[in-house]
């Protein structure tokens, strides 16, 4: 294979797939990920639609493929600052943040036990806190702790260092800048949830029991903040009636002008999570159109058979809170009957759209469209949700295609 490696930016399912596919046919691969662990958003999901299997199986297999392949070099807490050059010959400047924990770490957890300082868990979308020294998630790769120095309580550092038998804590680690020479770049930086606080009428951030679809995934996860029980945040009781607000941000010229592709499927999946916990629980899905493309139509039928779902065709106009019960009143117009609806529910889930994770950022050398999705270019190939909103299966297909394109470019030299 050609002399220069392939750089894969983003260690979610798309980046991981592109990296292993390219490396397993002989390419050298550098995989960089901005978070302390690989896995991306799928590591935060309870189950995958349509099969309702946990994403952990696929992740574990892929982590093993990476571990056993000496051609893949992984850098976590790393981000691209600048790209220059041309297809076949790029220079990429990468910033690597300090982890303050070295490779001696065995993830024994003794440090965490003595640490008093806490930080809000971004992995759990603010639904709980972790210690200042924490494992990103139970099956993180690399299986190493990370230290958030800003969250340390007085005396924590001394206690943590004394508790670590492996000499793994290194508070003197510094930020590093590395320059890589690569032949092709696969851009797989994925997506982030649209900022729900921008949807003024939907009450996110004002009313405790208005949550997002990704928070719902964390509530349903056995290693999430509630140990897998779906409980409404205000009083930790299981909700009996939940409203799902579709197109929260998507298909709206004032927010995300495109369809986020997976939100209808995600809400159907969430209604099955509810049914699994309480077969009597009701889901009300407020929608513009239910989009379950291609073979996913079968999943719609399955959800309709297994869960108590009422579909209401109408955009939600506003959400108000009953200050006493913390229930929510959802107002919408049912466009089929023409009637105004005021539904009292225990919890609301906003089916937030997916926005490119790099939206609003400028990375010299990288071309993006007006929404932040990467443009196709000869040597910089986008895949997964960095390219467009996608499900996992299609993300993986685009990642495999990107690996092939990148191999062709480095072979040409």
Residues that bind ligand FAD (CB under 6 A): 9-15, 32-35, 40-42, 45, 48-49, 79-80, 188-191, 213-214, 217, 262, 266, 269, 354, 357-358, 384-385, 390-393, 395
Judged by beta carbon, residue 62 or residue 164, the one nearer ligand FAD is: 62
Q: How far is the CB of 377 from ligand FAD (least distance, A)?
A: 17
Q: Are 23 and 73 in contact (CB under 8 A)?
A: no
Contact 331, 318 (CB under 8 A): yes
Closest CA to 140 of 111, 105, 172, 164: 105
CA nearest neighbour of 406 among 368, 385, 378: 378
- Distance of closest approach, residue 341 Cβ to ligand FAD, in angstroms: 24
- Nearest to ligand FAD of 19, 345 (CB atom): 19
Smaller CB separation from ligand FAD, 111 or 220: 220
Residue 94 CB, shortest distance to ligand FAD, in Å, is: 9
- For the chain, the 3-state helix, strand and coil shares in percent, each to the nearest 5, are 25, 30, 45
Q: Could you tell me which of 125, 254, 272 has the C-alpha nearest to residue 200?
A: 254
When the beta carbons of 166 and 296 are compared against ligand FAD, the nearer one is: 296
Nearest distance, CB of residue 118 and ligand FAD, angstroms: 22
Residue 16 or 407 with smaller CB distance to ligand FAD: 16
Tokens representing 137 are: 């998630």
Q: Give 202 or 390: the residue with its C-beta nearer to ligand FAD.
A: 390
Q: For 101, phi and psi rounded to 5 degrees?
A: -135, 130
Residue 157 or 350 with smaller CB distance to ligand FAD: 350
Q: Which residues are within 8 A (CB) of 325 and not within 5 positions of it... i.e. 6 or more apart?
A: none
> What three-state secondary structure class fits 202?
helix
Residue 49 CB, shortest distance to ligand FAD, in Å, is 4
Minimum distance of ligand FAD from residue 33's CB (angstroms):
5
Strands 354-356 and 347-352 come out as unpaired
- Least CB distance from residue 37 to ligand FAD, whole Å? 8
**281/283 Cα distance (integer angstroms):** 7
- Cα–chain center distance at 247: 18
**Cα–Cα dist 191/375, whole Å:** 15
């Amino acid at each position: 294979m050609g002399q220069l490696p392939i750089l894969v930016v983003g260690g979610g399912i798309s980046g991981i797939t592109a990296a292993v596919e390219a490396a397993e046919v002989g390419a050298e691969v550098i995989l960089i990920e901005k978070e302390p662990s690989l896995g991306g958003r799928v590591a935060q999901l309870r189950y995958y639609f349509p099969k309702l299997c946990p994403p952990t199986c696929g992740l574990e297999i892929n982590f093993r493929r990476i571990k056993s392949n000496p051609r893949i070099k992984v850098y976590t807490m790393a981000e691209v600052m600048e790209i220059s050059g041309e297809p076949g010959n790029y220079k990429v400047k990468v910033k690597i943040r300090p982890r303050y924990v070295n490779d001696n770490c065995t993830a024994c957890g003794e440090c965490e036990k003595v640490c008093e300082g806490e930080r809000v868990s971004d992995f759990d979308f603010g639904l709980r806190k972790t210690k200042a020294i924490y494992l990103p998630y139970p099956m993180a790769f690399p299986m190493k702790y990370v230290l958030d120095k800003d969250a340390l309580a007085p005396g924590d550092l001394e206690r943590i260092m004394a508790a670590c038998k492996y000499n793994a804590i290194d508070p003197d680690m510094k930020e590093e800048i590395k320059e890589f020479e690569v032949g092709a770049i696969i851009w797989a930086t994925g997506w982030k949830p649209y900022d729900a606080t921008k949807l003024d009428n939907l009450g996110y951030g004002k009313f405790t029991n208005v949550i997002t679809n990704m928070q719902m995934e964390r509530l349903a996860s056995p290693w999430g903040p509630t140990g897998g029980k779906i409980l409404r945040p205000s009083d930790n009781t299981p909700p009996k009636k939940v409203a799902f607000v579709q197109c929260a941000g998507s298909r709206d010229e004032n927010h995300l002008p495109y369809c986020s592709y997976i939100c209808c499927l995600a809400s159907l999946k969430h209604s099955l999570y509810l049914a699994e916990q309480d077969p009597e629980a009701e889901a009300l899905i407020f929608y513009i159109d239910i989009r379950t493309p291609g073979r996913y139509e079968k999943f719609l039928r399955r959800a309709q058979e297994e869960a108590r779902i009422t579909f209401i065709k109408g955009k939600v106009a506003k959400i108000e809170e009953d200050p006493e019960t913390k229930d929510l009143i959802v107002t919408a117009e049912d466009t089929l009957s023409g009637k105004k609806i005021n539904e009292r529910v225990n919890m609301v889930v906003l089916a937030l759209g997916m926005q490119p994770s790099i939206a609003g950022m400028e990375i010299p050398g990288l071309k993006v469209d007006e929404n932040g999705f990467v443009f196709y270019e000869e040597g910089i190939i986008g895949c997964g949700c960095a390219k467009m909103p996608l499900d996992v299966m299609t993300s993986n297909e685009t990642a495999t295609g990107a690996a092939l394109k990148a191999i062709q470019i480095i072979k040409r030299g």
